[in-house]
Amino acid sequence: MGAVTAGRGAHPGTLGYMAFGFGFVDAMYQTVTTVATVGFRELRPLSTGGKFFTMALILVGVSSTLYAFSVLIETLIEGRLLDSLGRHRMERSIGTMQDHVIICGWGRVGRSIASEVHDAGRSLVVIDNDADRLADSPYPTVIGDATEDAVLAAAGLDRASALIAAVDADAANSFIILSARATRPDLFIVARARSADSEEKLRRAGADRVVNPQHIGGARMAAFVLRPHVAEFVDVVMHDRNLEFRLEELPIPPGSQVAGKTLRDAAIRDRTGALVLAIRARGGELRTNPPPDTAIEPDGLLIAIGTEDELLSLAELVNNGTT
């Protein structure tokens, strides 16, 4: 009775040997040595049935042990292997990108920027030093410190068209700008500033544009109070891609047929239907509401408003004659 009580919940092998007359401890010992295949002698002679039972126990026990071990190894290795393969595929994808945007920082500001860039049809790469934070990114990512040259290189800095330094520390953004500018003097760089005092420092570090999200947010909120309809119109034109009219900027290539002409001679409105709102000469300031005698200089920029078809016609006109 005691043996039966001791055997409740025991290994099936232990119960089996107990059925062949082994005591509980001997049955447990025999089971462990058999399943472990250590080759110790039997504690007592086995009958024919006991021998068949032992052979079956060895096969089942070894198979179960190997299966459990393989599942454990697979669980440990497969996760790392999949991560490694996924990272390798992502690195290859980044390696093929051209004229993409690099976004440094995957916080609230970085996520908002990435969404806008993606919706505009531009490819992008996100850099952040927090792997867990990047886990939910639907875009190609690089894990690391964006102030390091090797990390920026992994994001394709040499082939990027723009970089946005949007981490939450102004000092870190300054280092990112310095690193990127040293490698790519021609790169267009936009920096996030947390304080007004840092804006000029970020410009001196090499940023082409500096944005203070708090300042911009406050100005927009005030605009909705002071000029609600104007603010709504600008918001819709800039962000609603279902709107018939939209704003677009068009660089003027040196070989463009409109380069060197005035707005009157180029007859942009008559030929395309698009309206030029502003013009920038190379290295100059943006000139809004330009008069008809304003010259369109090579390597300058036009900002126009119109329908999608009108803006496409303007792009064709501007690029016509270039190679």
pLDDT number for residue 4 = 40
Report helix angle 48-95 to 12-19, nearest 10: 170
Taking alpha carbons only, the member of 236, 196, 240, 228 closest to residue 215 is: 196
Counting as low any pLDDT under 50, the low residues of the chain are 1-7, 323
* HEC assignment per residue over the chain: CHHHHHHCCCCHHHHHHHHCCCCHHHHHHHHHHHHCCCCCCCCCCCCHHHHHHHHHHHHHHHHHHHHHHHHHHHHHHHHHHHHHHHHHHHHHHHHCCCCCEEEECCCHHHHHHHHHHHHCCCCEEEEECCHHHHCCCCCCEEECCCCCHHHHHHCCHHHCCEEEECCCCHHHHHHHHHHHHHHCCCCEEEEECCCHHHHHHHHHHCCCEEECHHHHHHHHHHHHHHCHHHHHHHHHHHHCCCCCEEEEEEECCCCCCCCCCEHHHHCHHHHHCCEEEEEECCCCCEEECCCCCCECCCCCEEEEEEEHHHHHHHHHHHHCCCC
β-bridge pairing 275-280 and 245-251: unpaired
pLDDT number for residue 242 = 59
Q: What token pair was written down for 144? A: 């690391």
pLDDT number for residue 313 = 92
Looking at the whole model, is its pTM more than 0.75? no
- The structural domains of the chain, ordered by start, are 2-86 (1.10.287.70), 97-211 (3.40.50.720), 244-319 (3.30.70.1450)
Quick check: 154 and 144 in contact, CB under 8 A? yes
